[in-house]
Structure 1
């Protein structure tokens, strides 16, 4: 009923409804737990000491309040340390799907959540104002380190459905008055619509931008290709939810003339990896524990324990994401040894070669870059080890034979000469139900990837 009223209301009333929702969010998120967490984070001088202390408290809480985790006391019945954490069993999405009622630690003020299912299956879980507010506090703490304060004008883009299907106007955004947030739709940000997005950004003049990486990158490409001079300069831009390649980062920084600061977490509550003021990625031990399982070379799969997941706890959770480190880890590594070079993302967000092994997003994006400006958007899909499908959105009158020759030459350098390439020319790249655009899709299965 509420959705129907929203869909049939004029835009100004939709803004009012979204602002009322924003007021509810403020009350839910910016509570005493938020304030306590911000005070602790801003005053703390040793994040690794805080990590050890929080692990003990986290383990004590979940083993005393969760039927599922109470069984862990049979393995470790004292304070848990990072050096002993690998004695405990692993968990994954199927664990949560099959044992959610046993896992959950609370029965009041539960907030039902769900992952978007980009790997093929969605997952329901529960959180609580205590967890949400502390996680938001850390996100604000991260932004604060880059000069962005709570309450500044902010532009966001994401997968919320804010534009009704029957809308005929070119207003692809809604304003949240109480959060000073202009929220853009990710579902309409392409083609001729892009000019309306850029015009609105120029009018609004946000001090920070956050949201889906591919949409922000699309804005940047439009700005750069059309030599548009913006009338504002954000303090920083914070892409989320999708992988950020060096080429994307360069394009965004060129367009908006401000730093782009990468971050990693997950909807279900993985600990944070963020970019510091020097442009270096680093784990944030205050938010959880990172275990790294080697896949190949310096590429490691993450197993995470998240301190902001006290309601549906993630303890040694196989998140399904990977990172590339600056160097291989020693056999007995500490948390301080984990030096992040690049966030790869989902374990199926890279492709495989019979000859060369793993081919990352970065290697694929540089291959596309070699084609110049003729490729507007691209997507790689691999269903078989010896074949890669390329979905391409290209400019009009592009010499496709020449383009394919360039791309095959570039891809042969990365894959070797035993991989075949199938080119599909499309009007647009399909998005997921959550509005995300996947650059690479690996359907080979874990047995091939690992």
Structure 2
């Protein structure tokens, strides 16, 4: 009902609704836990000492409050053994499937007290998880602390690009943004930032004069490329830009810094609560031990897959979570490496395949995964295959009792935002998604030559 009212209201009223939502976010995110956390971070003298303290508290808490982890610890005869950051690998790893299948046993509180969240994930598997004001506000505190290191503070004029559908499908006016007054935040649509529409975005940026930008990497890069290609002069200079949600390549970073004439600072985390890897003021990537524990499983040479433990996940705990992302390290790690030994060279993330739309241009894995997210846990696995520009085959593995027609209806609605109206979708329900010859399952396959 609220979505219907929003979509059929004048833009000025939509701005008001966005601002009301912003007020709710402030109440939810900027709690006493936020202020306690940011104070702790600002005053911390040794983050590795803090990491050890936090792991002990985190592990003790989930042993007592998560049925799932209690059973794992009992099964592995670890209940009376002291587990620390240094010997954390004695615990078994968990996967996204473990969370999907055991969510009711994993969570540490009653559902009615929690905030329901979801992620499609770049692998195409949807996952429902839960957070709380406690976890969410502490995570926001760390993000704000990270930005403070680069001269950006809460309340500054900010432009954000993300997956929220703030522009109704049938809107004709070239106004692809809404203003969240309480957060001093101009929210711009990721779904319309392509082609000649970008000139309207740049005109609005020059009017708004943001002090910082954040959000989808590919959209910020697309705007930067347009500025450079058209030799457009900006009337503002941001303090710093913080791309997220998608892999930032060196070329993208160079383009964005040249277009906006300011530093671009990379970051890595996850919606479900992986600890942070961030870029410091010298331009070096570093793990953030205050937010969790990082483990590295060697794939090849200096390429390692991440196994993470997140301290901001006391609600749906992530303890030795095999997240499916990879990084490249500066040097090969010794067998008995310590957290201090880790030097990050590059965030790889997952391989990004892009699909194409005649109306919208490139559609990334992140955009596809957010569409899958809205279906919830009914979709076990999915795959998008594009053999020609206006036709996409969507393969779906679903739960036995799921309503196929309802899934198709929801996905068709979500995908319309990402591809426009000229793309046709053919939905096929299958028993499994096939592996590649390399033993992987690809989420997006683009066969257009």
Q: TM-score range by the shorter chain?
A: 0.7 to 0.9
- Distance in 2 (alpha carbons) for counterparts of 1:155 and 1:446: 40
The equivalent residue for 1:2 is 2
The equivalent residue for 1:259 is 263
The equivalent residue for 1:342 is 346
Q: Does residue 328 in structure 1 map to residue 332 in structure 2?
A: yes
Higher relative contact order (CA 8 A, sep 6+): 2
The C-alpha deviation readout for 1:61-106, integer Å capped at 9, x for no partner, is: 0000111111215314354211221111110111011111110001
The equivalent residue for 1:67 is 67
SS at match of 2:86: helix
The C-alpha deviation readout for 1:408-435, integer Å capped at 9, x for no partner, is: xxxxxxxxxxxxxxx98959999x9698
Mapping for residues 44-59 of structure 1, pairs under 5 Å: 44-59=44-59
1:242 to partner: Cα distance? 0.2
- Distance in 1 (alpha carbons) for counterparts of 2:435 and 2:13: 44
- Distance in 2 (alpha carbons) for counterparts of 1:447 and 1:266: 24
Is the CA contact 1:60–1:79 (under 8 Å) kept in the aligned structure 2?
Answer: no
Could you tell me which of 249, 257, 265 is aligned with 2:253? 249
Could you tell me which of 90, 97, 115 is aligned with 1:94? 97
Q: Does residue 447 in structure 1 map to residue 439 in structure 2?
A: yes
The 4+ residue runs of structure 1 with deviation greater than 4 A are: 376-381, 423-430, 432-437
Q: CA RMSD in A?
A: 2.6
**How has the CA–CA distance of structure 1 residues 319 and 11 changed in structure 2, closer, same or farther, with 3 Å as cutoff?**
same
**How has the CA–CA distance of structure 1 residues 251 and 263 changed in structure 2, closer, same or farther, with 3 Å as cutoff?**
same
The equivalent residue for 2:137 is 133
Mapping for residues 75-224 of structure 1, pairs under 5 Å: 75-107=78-110, 108-224=112-228
- Distance in 2 (alpha carbons) for counterparts of 1:147 and 1:289: 27
SS at match of 1:126: strand
Mapping for residues 22-37 of structure 1, pairs under 5 Å: 22-37=22-37
- Distance in 1 (alpha carbons) for counterparts of 2:208 and 2:56: 46
- Distance in 2 (alpha carbons) for counterparts of 1:311 and 1:149: 28
Is the CA contact 1:217–1:251 (under 8 Å) kept in the aligned structure 2?
Answer: yes
- Distance in 2 (alpha carbons) for counterparts of 1:429 and 1:340: 37
SS at match of 1:447: coil
The equivalent residue for 2:274 is 270
The C-alpha deviation readout for 1:320-342, integer Å capped at 9, x for no partner, is: 10000001101110111111000
Is the CA contact 2:63–2:69 (under 8 Å) kept in the aligned structure 1?
Answer: yes
Is the CA contact 1:159–1:436 (under 8 Å) kept in the aligned structure 2?
Answer: no
The equivalent residue for 1:231 is 235
- Distance in 1 (alpha carbons) for counterparts of 2:291 and 2:302: 23
**How has the CA–CA distance of structure 1 residues 240 and 448 changed in structure 2, closer, same or farther, with 3 Å as cutoff?**
closer
Is the CA contact 2:194–2:361 (under 8 Å) kept in the aligned structure 1?
Answer: no
- Distance in 2 (alpha carbons) for counterparts of 1:204 and 1:79: 54
The equivalent residue for 2:431 is none
- Structure 2, gaps ≥5 residues long: 355-359, 366-385, 394-410, 420-433, 442-449
- Distance in 2 (alpha carbons) for counterparts of 1:56 and 1:40: 17
The equivalent residue for 1:358 is none
- Distance in 1 (alpha carbons) for counterparts of 2:364 and 2:187: 29
1:380 to partner: Cα distance? 11
SS at match of 1:82: coil
- Distance in 2 (alpha carbons) for counterparts of 1:335 and 1:103: 27
The equivalent residue for 1:11 is 11
